């Protein structure tokens, strides 16, 4: 028996162009291969799509086209993507052959006249057939295990954690084994269809799914005694097989998503072409025209040459560029120009995502252990790779002069040289006689007049005339002279170097 398996179509406005192009091509290819049954193993829709939307209209058209060629089985997928009841409408869009929607755990028999018969129908409904209830003209037997609500199941079995879910599902799968064994003895192909995660499988990004709360293990799936187990939910194609002496070969497979929906998805996209009999099962991935999604990451500013090279090797790709850059360098990246360059290189679409890293200022290492202000300054210069001599030479000006005096000297063209004893008496040293100041003690330096912080001296602003009087003692004695010794003196405090310079 030839069966086409599609999975994870994810029809929605966001992905409509991609998935409809790919699924339409897949339907045409399946019809050309003359498949006898079509199976969609979950997540036909996405994002709780509205039934009146264009996405549902397009999906209905594809299902109708498929059902005009062969019977179709649709399985309930993730509740977040398609809430219960969403798929019910598709059972009414069947064409020449019926569409069966499996929303409950059950077995479904496909009869010789291409009708679907559920184990939940009839006088004694049950999730599995018995040898007596299995239709006599069955040509294929499907065991359906749609998405289960983990919270409800754990609550129902009174388990303390989700790990018990796997044990319950393993028992459920093993309950399919007796009737599947009977069907094999009658030369009837047996197929399992589920939507969930196999422990140890890989995601579309190549990440292993390791955990105790995943629904299935390969052992529990093989224990159902089906020849082929068709899975959905994981978007990466992968296959497991199990050969049993005198029994045949069992296979489990994910076809992956029908199209490429996210950046970074690995491998080809497509659908599975199955050939199954009562002893063996084989499958082959049939590629679809999925778009190329390139993601190019940089730890610093984007390398334009590298981007052009990669995009040039993959023309028509959808490109996402990510980069990290310090806040003070963000202006170096011209996003508009970068987008034009990438489009000219052959990209069909470009998405640029820049991560701005905040600049955090950190004090120079070891500066707090220095004893004097000059030592602190030298340490800061050492850590910031600055030349220390010019800064150390001007440090006495900051210690002995106020900002107004220094600014006035600069404005009138006087070079800011450290004061000498000829001008102001003994100069204040910042290295020979370090002064330790406490909030309650005012330092006293010989030759320097100090004014308490709460007293504002009457200081005449320094003008060219005043400076002339200072340099020419023959001027009248009552000429207003504002010397450096008359300025306000403040306690010497440890100052943040970033504020000083």
Q: pLDDT (tens digit, 9 = 90+) per residue, 224-257?
A: 999 999 999 999 999 999 987 777 899 999 999 9
Average pLDDT, the chain: 81
Q: What is the pLDDT of residues 139-194, one digit of tens each?
A: 999 999 998 776 666 666 655 555 667 778 888 899 999 999 999 999 999 999 99
Same domain, 144 and 228: yes
Q: Are residue 400 and residue 275 in the same domain, yes or no? A: no
Contacts of 132 (CB under 8 A, 6+ apart): none
pLDDT per residue as tens digits for the range 305-364: 999 998 888 888 889 999 999 888 888 888 889 999 998 888 888 889 998 988 776 566
Please indicate, yes or no, whether residues 332 and 207 belong to a single structural domain of this protein: no
Residues 110 and 222 in one domain: yes
Can you give the length of the chain in residues?
Answer: 501
Give pTM, 2 decimals. Answer: 0.67
The CATH number linked to 14 is 3.60.21.10
Q: Of the candidates 257, 287, 317, which is a domain's last residue?
A: 287
Q: Tell me how many domains the chain contains.
A: 3
Least confident range from 57-66, 259-268, 435-444: namely 435-444
* Coil, helix or strand at residue 115: coil
User: 377 pLDDT exceeds 90?
Assistant: no
Asked if residue 424 is part of any domain, the answer here is yes
Query: In the prediction, which pLDDT does 159 show?
Result: 57
Other C-beta atoms lying within 10 Å of the C-beta of residue 323: 19
Q: Residue 347 has what pLDDT? A: 87
Tell me if 433 is assigned to some domain.
yes
The verdict on residue 362 lying in a domain is no
Do 124 and 42 reside in the same domain of the chain? yes
Strand extents, DSSP E, 155-308: 190-195, 228-232, 238-244, 248-254, 270-276, 281-287, 293-298
Based on the fold, state whether residues 216 and 259 are members of the same structural domain.
yes
The reply to whether 134 falls in a domain is yes
In a domain, 215, yes or no: yes
Is there a single domain that holds both residue 272 and residue 302? no
Cα 357–chain centre separation: 17
Per-residue confidence (pLDDT) for residue 384, from 0 to 100? 80
Last residue of a domain, one of 287, 312, 342: 287
Distances (CA, A) of 273 to 35, 69, 189, 239: 8, 15, 15, 13
265 or 275, which is more confident? 275
Which of 304, 327, 357 is a domain's end point? 357
Q: Please give the average per-residue pLDDT across 299-304, as a whole number.
A: 89
Query: What is the reported pLDDT for 401?
Result: 83
Same domain, 185 and 57: yes
Looking at residues 435-458, what average pLDDT do you find? Answer: 43
Find the domain containing 170 and state its range: 2-287
Among 205-209, 313-317, 414-418, 489-493, the range of highest mean pLDDT: 313-317
């Amino acid at each position: 028996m030839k069966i086409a398996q599609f999975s994870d179509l994810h029809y929605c406005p966001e992905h409509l162009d991609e998935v409809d192009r790919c699924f339409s091509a897949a339907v045409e290819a399946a019809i050309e291969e003359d498949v006898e049954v079509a199976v969609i193993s979950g997540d036909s829709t996405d994002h709780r799509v509205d039934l009146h939307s264009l996405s549902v209209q397009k999906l209905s058209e594809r299902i109708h086209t498929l059902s005009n060629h062969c019977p179709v089985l649709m399985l309930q997928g993730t509740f977040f993507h398609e809430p219960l009841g969403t798929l019910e409408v598709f059972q009414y869009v069947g064409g020449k052959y019926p569409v069966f929607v499996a929303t409950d755990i059950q077995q479904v028999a496909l009869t010789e006249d291409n009708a679907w018969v559920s184990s939940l129908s009839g006088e004694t409904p049950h999730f599995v057939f018995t040898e007596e209830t299995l239709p006599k003209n069955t040509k294929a037997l499907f065991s359906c295990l749609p998405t289960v609500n983990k919270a409800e199941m754990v609550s129902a079995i009174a388990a303390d954690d989700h790990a018990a879910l796997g044990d319950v599902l393993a028992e459920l799968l093993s309950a399919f084994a007796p009737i599947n064994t009977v069907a094999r003895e009658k030369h009837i192909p047996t197929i399992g269809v589920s939507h969930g995660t196999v422990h140890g499988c890989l995601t579309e990004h190549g990440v292993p799914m390791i955990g105790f709360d995943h629904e299935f293990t390969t052992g529990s799936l093989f224990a159902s005694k089906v020849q082929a187990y068709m899975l959905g939910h994981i978007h990466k194609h992968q296959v497991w097989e199990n050969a049993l002496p005198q029994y045949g070969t069992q296979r489990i497979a994910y076809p992956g998503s029908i199209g490429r929906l996210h950046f970074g998805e690995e491998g080809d996209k497509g659908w599975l072409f199955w050939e199954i009999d009562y002893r063996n099962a084989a499958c082959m991935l049939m590629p679809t025209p999925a778009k190329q999604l390139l993601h190019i990451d940089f730890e610093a500013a984007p390398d334009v040459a590298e981007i052009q090279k990669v995009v040039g090797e993959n023309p028509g790709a959808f490109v996402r560029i990510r980069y990290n850059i310090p806040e003070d360098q963000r202006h170096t990246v011209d996003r508009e120009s970068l987008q034009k360059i990438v489009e000219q290189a052959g990209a069909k679409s470009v998405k640029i995502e820049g991560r701005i890293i905040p600049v955090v200022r950190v004090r120079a290492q070891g500066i707090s252990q220095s004893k004097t202000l000059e030592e602190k300054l030298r340490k800061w210069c050492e850590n910031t790779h600055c030349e220390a001599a010019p800064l150390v030479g001007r440090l006495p000006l900051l210690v002995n002069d106020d900002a107004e005096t220094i600014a006035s000297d600069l404005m009138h063209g006087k070079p800011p040289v450290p004061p000498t004893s000829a001008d102001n008496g003994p100069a204040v040293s910042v290295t020979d006689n370090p002064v330790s100041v406490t909030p309650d003690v005012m330092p006293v330096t010989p030759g320097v007049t100090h004014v308490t912080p709460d007293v504002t001296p009457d200081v005449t602003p320094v003008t060219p005339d005043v400076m002339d009087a200072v340099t020419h003692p023959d001027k009248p004695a009552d000429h207003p002279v504002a010397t450096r010794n008359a300025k306000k003196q403040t306690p010497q405090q440890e100052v943040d170097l970033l504020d000083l310079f």
